[in-house]
Structure 1
Amino acid sequence: MKFTRRLFLGLAALLLGVGATMAHAANALDTIKQRKKILVAVDIGGPPYGMIDEQARQVGSDVEAARLLAQDLGVTLQIVPVSGPNRVPFLLSRKADVVMASFSITEDRKKVIDFSEPYGVVPVVIGGPASAKVASFADLSGKTIAVTRGTTSDQELTRGSKGIPSVSIVRYEDDATTNTAVATGQQDYIAAPPSTILAVKKASPSRDIASKFAMKAYPYGIGVRKNEPELKAWLDGWVKTNLKNGKLDEIYKRYFGMSLPPEVLQ
């Protein structure tokens, strides 16, 4: 009996030790610090959040925010390029530690992943010919709208156009293809953030695309896998600190020409 009890206690201690080791190994924040590098997923094809400038450098509001995050964490930054549809798969498959890609916080996404406190907002709008009288979803009847699959623009367009007759939605796999479709005249209308509308107009001035009406405005945060409380707590603290000291607002103003809304800055 004594031998059996000692064996049981020994196995229990071993299991507790393995459990503690596994729990420590699962601490994403420690893993990042030990690696001395953070893998941040950014949509490089979604200006002004992420883009390539004339010198082939990665720039944009999310790129700058990611650099600030890595600097404050004391690690180097590796940007992992993603598109709207593959942001969550890249995070869940551990190809990225976190996602900073104009990642709107939605109830559906929160069922699968966690988010930091918001550090910006993404309004989503309908864009179309400046001369067109389109002020609501009802005015989209008989029209074809381009959108990037799986984005909040896609979700809001699908929801808002439900029941509107003869609305055709053409879904593309990434923002660059969506933008090109509108810039080249394949479609006259687009569901996207206002910054995308400006980018399309800049790429093709003759198209004279303008924002027609807002579908919704979403706060966006840093995407993180569930059950990573240490990393999420650090990210929440980082967001609050850099909103308070004005650094995140400075980045936002540089790329959007306006300050963050009061509800984010509070």
Structure 2
Amino acid sequence: MFRRSLLTAAAATAGFAALGVTPARADQYDDIMKAKKIRIATDLAIPPSGMIDASMQPTGSDVETARLLAQDWGLQLEFVQTTGATRIPNVLTGKADIIISTLSVTAERAKVIDFTRAYAALESVVGGLKSLQVKSWEDLRGKTIAVSRGTTQDTTLTNMKDRDLRIARYDDDATMVTAAVTGQADFVATSATIVNQIGVKNPARPFEPKVLITTFDLAIGLRKGEPQLREKLDAWIATNLKNGKLNAIYKKFHGSELPAAMRG
């Protein structure tokens, strides 16, 4: 979900070529195992997926997913703090090995990076104050909706030219949520989980999901041309969906279980 406007596949490819980024060797998995460390790009400002706890330690569903992966593979874990806009550049430029950061699978992103099978799901919605009577896109006509730059919500709403939507863009989810909590925004486009968090931060301004945008699969992102790494990650996800560990992590932080079809 997030920040600076999402690059089109063509623009991204051209931009990274200009930076001298070349396709990675097809043995990144071997390199990771040899280094005994995995660097994972994770946004720590999007509760409950990624956040900092009272002890100033990373926590959240994506954080625990990353920790479980590192533990199962016997690796040291290094979090590469990221935003929505920098997740993909971080792996393309080699700053991170993979992305575990509410990364929804889209056709546009799939032109730039590879995705594993889904490890979780994301319900993308327009949320608003509970006191506001909004049930459809027509009810949102002419309304201002806050989004985080570069998110799928930003892209989707921007392309809805016929809806007469006014978009207020924020640099990240934390500042967007702050805008909602403090009364600067009455509507937000984000995940249903984040919408529900707004009322927790300010009980006087409870928000609720109003209009469903879509439901996305969340997957691990990695550079293209790494078949061994992708196969190993897919196998790890399948194992931990089957044994219930990924569902337990999701339920702990999101308060609901993963879709039944995903759990198998």
Q: Report TM bin, short chain.
A: 0.7 to 0.9
Q: 1:25 to 1:138 in 2, by over 3 A?
A: closer
Please list every run of 5 or more consecutive structure 1 residues that lacks an aligned counterpart in the other structure: 1-22
Q: 1:208 aligns to what?
A: 206
Q: 1:79 aligns to what?
A: 79
Q: Which amino acid in structure 2 is aligned with residue 232 of structure 1?
A: R
Distance 2:112 2:148 in 1: 20
Distance 1:143 1:157 in 2: 12
Spell out the pairing of 1:128-167 with structure 2 (5 A cutoff).
128-159=128-159, 161-165=160-164, 167=165
1:81-139 per-residue CA deviation (whole Å, 9 max, x = no partner) reads 11111111111111110000011011111010001110100111111111211112221
1:124-179 per-residue CA deviation (whole Å, 9 max, x = no partner) reads 111111121111222111211100011122223234x42023x2101112111111
Identity percentage over the alignment? 45
Spell out the pairing of 1:110-189 with structure 2 (5 A cutoff).
110-159=110-159, 161-165=160-164, 167-189=165-187
> How far is 1:208 from its partner?
2.1
Please list every run of 5 or more consecutive structure 2 residues that lacks an aligned counterpart in the other structure: 1-22
Is the 1:157–1:215 contact (alpha carbons within 8 Å) kept by the matching residues of 2? no
Q: Which amino acid in structure 1 is aligned with residue 195 of structure 2?
A: I
Is the deviation greater in 131-140 or in 111-120?
Answer: 131-140
Is the 2:120–2:219 contact (alpha carbons within 8 Å) kept by the matching residues of 1? yes
Compare the two structures and name the one with the higher helix fraction.
1
TM-score by length of 1: 0.87
Q: 1:158 to 1:25 in 2, by over 3 A?
A: closer
Distance 2:192 2:94 in 1: 31
> How far is 1:25 from its partner?
5.9
Is the 2:36–2:74 contact (alpha carbons within 8 Å) kept by the matching residues of 1? yes
Match for 2:238 among 240, 244, 247? 240
Q: Which amino acid in structure 1 is aligned with residue 139 of structure 2?
A: D
Q: 1:26 to 1:194 in 2, by over 3 A?
A: same
**Structure 1 ranges of 4+ moved more than 4 A:** 23-26
Q: CA RMSD in A?
A: 1.5
By relative contact order (CA 8 Å, sep 6+), the higher-ranking structure is: 2
Instruction: Report SS of the residue matched to 1:221.
Output: strand
Q: Which amino acid in structure 1 is aligned with residue 77 of structure 2?
A: L
Is the 2:91–2:98 contact (alpha carbons within 8 Å) kept by the matching residues of 1? yes
- Give the paired residue count: 242
Does residue 1:198 correspond to 2:196, yes or no?
yes
Q: Which amino acid in structure 2 is aligned with residue 191 of structure 1?
A: A
TM-score by length of 2: 0.88
Q: Which amino acid in structure 2 is aligned with residue 172 of structure 1?
A: Y
Distance 1:202 1:45 in 2: 16
Is the 1:156–1:216 contact (alpha carbons within 8 Å) kept by the matching residues of 2? no
Distance 2:231 2:206 in 1: 45
Is the 1:146–1:178 contact (alpha carbons within 8 Å) kept by the matching residues of 2? yes
Instruction: Report SS of the residue matched to 1:222.
Output: strand
Q: 2:8 aligns to what?
A: none
Instruction: Report SS of the residue matched to 1:101.
Output: coil
1:61-91 per-residue CA deviation (whole Å, 9 max, x = no partner) reads 0100000100111111011111111111111
Q: Which has the larger radius of gyration?
A: 1
> How far is 1:32 from its partner?
0.6
